[in-house]
């Protein structure tokens, strides 16, 4: 049987103009000077096949070429050489709600969004009640989309996106949208696809989701496939890559936890034996939610009696950026080793994680109070992922509150409106 | 009231129609209906505007050109000639102006969804075609009510001229929409070209007036497709015996505007096909 997706020696280069000239005047006055470009190779001659029924994940750091690959598969970009062929019909969810219009009602948007997927009005008419039931929006079919909350919009968009039945589904980070109960529905849908043996290509940063759903994962870095295999194997390669990357980034940064000598991990007078991350229920996990609790559980073994020492930790983003760091000394907590062979356990509890979706690593350092003697340094000591809940963007959850005040024309009587 | 019996936890997909043609047609319809709806949502009178606007336009044109400037003195049924021309011209400008932004204004769709890109151009023209249909119906009602409609079998030829207009608009739309992505000056250039075409195509004056004024000028104007289409539409729709066709002025040279129309269409098609792969990266 022919594979559903055939990619062979696919190469994509972007020409980024150093000076963008789209006006005629510029072209006329600068006709002699050749346009200057910077070439960016997004994909380096990559090849792979996806057989029918496979759930393929694509992972990699930002800028690795995974979105470009997806866009070429969906025929949005054209390859420079090689080819990406899809044998059969495909539907793409590169972003939810593409083509939706806020001025139209939910029902009209279903017809419009459905048409973008290749479904006709007649086909959709028989399905529309089910769509609204699934999206939990039965009472809002005739409301304009602009009056919907972002959660409602996303629920409608997801429900429309899964309407077209095709040979191949191509998805970019749209997993699990909306509130917790709708998220479960999304995951149920993906589990159903997996049971039904649909062919799916999924790009995601969420390694937990990739491990859970994918039969096989491709790891891309700088436009090349650096790992291709069973999900668990490739995600652990990716974790290692993130750690190496963080290590490399650390060398260039004068940070508190920077090692004097990268090859020296410390004297091991006190050794960090194990580190695990616990959720609110005390279970060990690497997946957390924004606003959820996380406890860092560390077990130490003293090889000599060093007396008071300091335990420090830092949280970094996958690309090495330092996000937060603290230590027992700064927080006025005393840790002491009294005798060799003593086992010490230290916990650091975060009540509410202020981080948004993404991959993070934790570094742990053990050193003396003056900071001149390093006992142990684990980099990374642990890594974790914050689940994608949709909504806010960036790294940090701000817990902000909006306030809107409006004043109308004074002559018609001032009206002040405040919303919290 | 119906009671929902389906399990709201599962939403099964629907297989697409096998016919790509049907799918594309459906998408063109949805996109053009949406564009038409959006034009009138939010206004108190809504769709009434789609009737009021052309009626006002006809009224003003008639007042200015026919009554005040007496542009068509001595011409047979000049007010009707003016109406026929205004409807065709409005279609032409609305369609080409819409088309200019059909690709450049849909960056989000083009970067995030796949469908044949010409559909955006086709649907921008279709929404202009909707306005055109309303205007034509209005003209028919008005002229029929005034008893000034003189349709004959020859009037069926109008269909061919309207088709020529559609082909011309499609060609220009493909050309303008794809080039505009890369050269934003085109918007201003096209405004000027439109103005030249408006006065150079004898829209608000009878072609006879140009002919009487200067033969050279008449030949120059006559080979442009808009002038030819409008003059010939007047000829077949109003009264073939009393309103002259373009061929009666410029003779065999009438093939020039027709060949130009076909040429513009082919050029537009080729340029659009050539530039399509670069849209997503340039928007």
Q: Give the rounded percent of residues in chain A with a pLDDT score beyond 90.
A: 24
Distance CA A242, CA A358 (A): 12
| Inter-CA distances, A99 with A94, A110, A165, B119, B278, Å | 12, 10, 19, 14, 20
Which has the higher per-residue pLDDT, A111 or A382?
Answer: A111
Which has the higher per-residue pLDDT, A17 or A65?
Answer: A65
Whether residue B16 lies within 8 A of chain A, CB to CB, comes out as yes
Distance CA B219, CA A147 (A): 58
Residues of chain A contacting B40 with CB distance shorter than 8 Å: none
Distance CA B236, CA B44 (A): 39
Considering only CB atoms, A99 lies closest to which of B2, B113, B183, namely B113
Q: Which of A274, A341, A350, A268 is nearest to A309 (CA)?
A: A268
Residue B136 near residue B155, CB atoms below 8 Å: no
Cβ within 8 Å of A, B 92-121 = 108-115
Q: Which element (helix H / strand E) includes A325?
A: strand A322-327
Distance CA B178, CA B101 (A): 9
Name the token pair of A44: 């380096």
pLDDT at residue B63 is higher than 90: no
Q: How many residues in chain B? A: 283
Distance CA B94, CA B50 (A): 13
Considering only CB atoms, A104 lies closest to which of B23, B29, B34, namely B34
A57 Cβ neighbours under 8 A, 6+ residues apart: A202, A203, A204, A210, A213, A214, A216, A217, A218, A231, A234
Which residue from A minimizes the CA distance to B31? A112
pLDDT at residue A314 is higher than 60: yes
Query: Residues A203-230: what's their mean pLDDT?
Result: 86
Compute CA A194 distance to the chain's CA centroid, rounded to the nearest angstrom.
21
Q: Please tell me what DSSP assigns to residue B60.
A: H
Query: Residues A101-124: what's their mean pLDDT?
Result: 91
**Reported confidence tier of residue A29, pLDDT bands at 50, 70, 90:** low
Best probe of the B interface among A14, A21, A120, by most B CBs < 10 A, is A120
Query: Which tens digit of pLDDT belongs to each residue from A132-186?
Result: 999 999 899 999 999 988 788 888 988 998 888 888 988 887 655 666 677 778 8
Cβ within 8 Å of A, B 17-76 = 17, 22-23, 26-27, 29-31, 34, 37-38, 41-42
Per-position DSSP letters for B181-218, written without gaps between them: HH-TTHHHHHHHHHHHHHHHTTSSS-HHHHHHH-HHHH
**Reported confidence tier of residue A27, pLDDT bands at 50, 70, 90:** low
Q: Give the rounded percent of residues in chain B with a pLDDT score beyond 70.
A: 97
Distance CA B84, CA A321 (A): 68
Tell if the CB–CB gap between A133 and B13 is shorter than 8 Å.
no
Whether residue A191 lies within 8 A of chain B, CB to CB, comes out as no
Considering only CB atoms, A116 lies closest to which of B6, B27, B37, namely B27
pLDDT of residue B66: 79
pLDDT at residue A265 is higher than 70: no
What's the pTM value of the predicted model, to 2 decimals? 0.71
Which has the higher per-residue pLDDT, A225 or A186?
Answer: A225
Residue B120 near residue B283, CB atoms below 8 Å: no
B180 Cβ neighbours under 8 A, 6+ residues apart: B100, B101, B103, B104, B186, B187
Whether residue B213 lies within 8 A of chain A, CB to CB, comes out as no
Residue B105 near residue B92, CB atoms below 8 Å: no
Whether residue A394 lies within 8 A of chain B, CB to CB, comes out as no
* Cα A247–Cα A365–Cα A338 angle in degrees, nearest 5: 155
Which has the higher per-residue pLDDT, B167 or B13?
Answer: B167
**Reported confidence tier of residue B197, pLDDT bands at 50, 70, 90:** very high
Considering only CB atoms, A77 lies closest to which of B10, B26, B280, namely B280
Tell if the CB–CB gap between A116 and B110 is shorter than 8 Å.
no
Whether residue A128 lies within 8 A of chain B, CB to CB, comes out as no
Considering only CB atoms, A130 lies closest to which of B11, B17, B110, namely B11
Calculate how close chain A gets to B95, using CA atoms only, in Å.
Answer: 21
pLDDT of residue B117: 94
Name the token pair of B252: 């065999």
| Inter-CA distances, B94 with B98, B131, B173, B194, B202, Å | 6, 9, 11, 11, 18
Distance CA A188, CA A205 (A): 20
Cβ within 8 Å of B, A 152-181 = 159, 162-166
Output b/e per residue, A204-221; b: 16+ Cβ within 10 A. Answer: bbbbbbbbbbbebbbbbb
Half-sphere exposure of A271 (CA within 13 A, CB side): 9
pLDDT at residue A32 is higher than 70: no
Name the token pair of B52: 């009021």
pLDDT of residue A20: 55
Among A36-50, A248-262, B6-20, B49-63, the minimum mean pLDDT is found in: A248-262
Q: Which of B160, B166, B180 is nearest to B265 (CA)?
A: B166
Q: Which CATH superfamily is domain A270-386 in?
A: abc- transporter (atp binding component) like domain (2.70.50.60)
Tell if the CB–CB gap between A78 and B277 is shorter than 8 Å.
yes
List residues bridging with A96 in a β-sheet: none
User: Residue B243 burial by CB count (10 A; 0-12/13-18/19+): exposed, middle or buried?
Assistant: buried
Q: Which element (helix H / strand E) includes A111?
A: helix A106-116
Query: Residues A281-286: what's their mean pLDDT?
Result: 84
Compute CA A12 distance to the chain's CA centroid, rounded to the nearest angstrom.
23
pLDDT at residue B277 is higher than 80: yes
Considering only CB atoms, A166 lies closest to which of B16, B26, B113, namely B16
**Reported confidence tier of residue B198, pLDDT bands at 50, 70, 90:** very high
pLDDT, mean over chain A: 81
Considering only CB atoms, B112 lies closest to which of A98, A111, A189, namely A98
Output b/e per residue, A95-122; b: 16+ Cβ within 10 A. Answer: ebbbbbbeebbbbbbbbbbbbbbbbbee
Considering only CB atoms, A22 lies closest to which of B9, B111, B184, namely B184
Which residue from B minimizes the CA distance to A189? B10
Calculate how close chain B gets to A91, using CA atoms only, in Å.
Answer: 9
Q: Where are the domains of chain A?
A: 5-239, 270-386
Best probe of the B interface among A129, A130, A168, A171, by most B CBs < 10 A, is A130
Q: In CATH, what class is A5-239?
A: alpha beta
Which residue from A minimizes the CA distance to B115? A116
Tell if the CB–CB gap between B23 and A130 is shorter than 8 Å.
no
Helix axes B118-145, B20-40, angle to 10 degrees: 60
pLDDT of residue B168: 97
Query: Residues A111-115: what's their mean pLDDT?
Result: 92
Rg for chain A, CA atoms, rounded: 26
Calculate how close chain B gets to A37, using CA atoms only, in Å.
Answer: 14
pLDDT of residue A420: 39
Tell if the CB–CB gap between B11 and A119 is shorter than 8 Å.
no
């Amino acid at each position: 049987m022919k594979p559903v997706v055939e990619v062979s020696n696919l190469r994509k280069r972007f020409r980024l103009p150093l000076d963008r000239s789209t006006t005629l005047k510029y072209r006329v006055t600068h006709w002699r000077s050749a346009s200057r470009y910077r070439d960016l190779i997004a994909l380096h001659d990559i090849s792979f096949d996806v057989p029918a029924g496979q759930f393929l994940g694509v992972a990699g750091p930002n800028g690795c070429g995974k979105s470009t690959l997806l866009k070429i598969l969906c025929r949005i970009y054209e390859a420079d050489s090689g080819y990406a062929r899809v044998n059969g019909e495909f539907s793409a969810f590169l972003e939810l709600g593409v083509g939706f219009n806020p001025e139209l009602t939910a029902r009209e948007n279903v017809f419009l969004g459905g048409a973008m997927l290749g479904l006709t009005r007649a086909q959709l008419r028989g399905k529309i009640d089910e769509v609204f039931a699934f999206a939990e929006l039965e009472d809002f079919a005739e409301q304009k989309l602009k009056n919907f909350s972002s959660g409602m919009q996303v629920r409608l968009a997801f429900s429309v996106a899964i309407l077209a039945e095709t040979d191949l589904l191509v998805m970019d980070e749209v997993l699990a949208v909306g509130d917790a109960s709708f998220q479960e529905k999304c995951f149920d849908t993906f589990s159903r696809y997996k049971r039904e043996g649909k062919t799916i290509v999924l790009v995601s940063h969420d390694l937990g989701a990739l491990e859970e759903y994918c039969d096989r994962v491709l790891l891309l870095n700088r436009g090349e496939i650096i790992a291709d295999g069973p999900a668990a194997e490739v995600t652990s390669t990716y974790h290692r890559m993130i750690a190496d990357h963080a290590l490399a980034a650390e060398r260039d940064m004068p940070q508190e936890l920077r090692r004097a000598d990268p090859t020296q991990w410390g004297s091991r007078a006190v050794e960090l034996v194990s580190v695990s991350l616990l959720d609110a229920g005390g279970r060990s996990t690497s997946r957390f939610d924004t606003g959820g609790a996380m406890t860092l559980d560390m077990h130490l073994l003293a090889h000599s009696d060093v007396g008071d020492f300091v335990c420090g930790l830092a949280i970094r983003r996958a690309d090495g950026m330092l996000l937060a760091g603290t230590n027992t000394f700064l927080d006025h907590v005393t840790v002491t080793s009294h005798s060799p062979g003593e086992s010490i356990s230290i916990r650091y509890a975060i009540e509410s994680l202020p981080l948004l979706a993404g991959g993070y690593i934790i570094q742990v350092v053990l050193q003396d109070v003056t900071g001149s003697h390093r006992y142990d340094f684990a980099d990374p000591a642990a890594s974790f992922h914050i689940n994608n809940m949709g909504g806010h963007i960036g790294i940090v959850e701000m817990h902000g509150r909006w306030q809107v005040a409006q004043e109308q024309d004074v002559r018609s009587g001032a009206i002040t409106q405040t919303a919290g | 009231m119906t009671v929902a019996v389906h399990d709201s936890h599962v939403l099964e997909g629907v297989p697409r129609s096998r016919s790509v043609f049907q799918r594309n047609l459906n998408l063109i319809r949805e996109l053009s209906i949406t564009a038409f709806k959006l034009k009138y949502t939010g206004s108190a009178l809504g769709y009434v505007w789609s009737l009021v606007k052309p009626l006002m336009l006809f009224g003003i044109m008639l007042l200015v050109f026919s009554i005040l400037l007496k542009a068509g003195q001595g011409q047979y049924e000049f007010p009707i000639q003016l109406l026929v021309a205004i409807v065709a011209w409005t279609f032409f400008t609305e369609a080409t102006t819409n088309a200019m932004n059909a690709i450049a204004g849909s960056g989000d769709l083009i970067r995030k969804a796949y469908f044949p890109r010409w559909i955006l151009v086709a649907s921008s023209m279709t929404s202009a075609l909707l306005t055109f249909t309303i205007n034509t119906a209005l003209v028919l009602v008005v002229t029929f009510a005034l008893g000034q409609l003189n349709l004959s079998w020859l009037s069926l030829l109008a269909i061919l001229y309207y088709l020529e207009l559609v082909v011309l608009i499609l060609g220009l739309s493909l050309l303008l929409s794809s080039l505009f992505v890369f050269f934003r000056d085109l918007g201003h250039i096209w405004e000027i070209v439109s103005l030249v075409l408006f006065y150079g195509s004898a829209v608000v004056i009878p072609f006879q007036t140009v002919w009487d004024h200067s033969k050279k000028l008449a030949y120059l104007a006559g080979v442009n497709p808009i002038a030819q289409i409008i003059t010939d539409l007047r000829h077949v729709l109003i009264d073939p015996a009393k309103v002259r066709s373009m061929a009666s002025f410029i003779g065999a040279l009438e093939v020039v505007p027709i060949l130009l129309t076909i040429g513009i269409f082919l050029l537009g098609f080729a340029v659009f096909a050539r530039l399509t792969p670069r849209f997503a990266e340039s928007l």
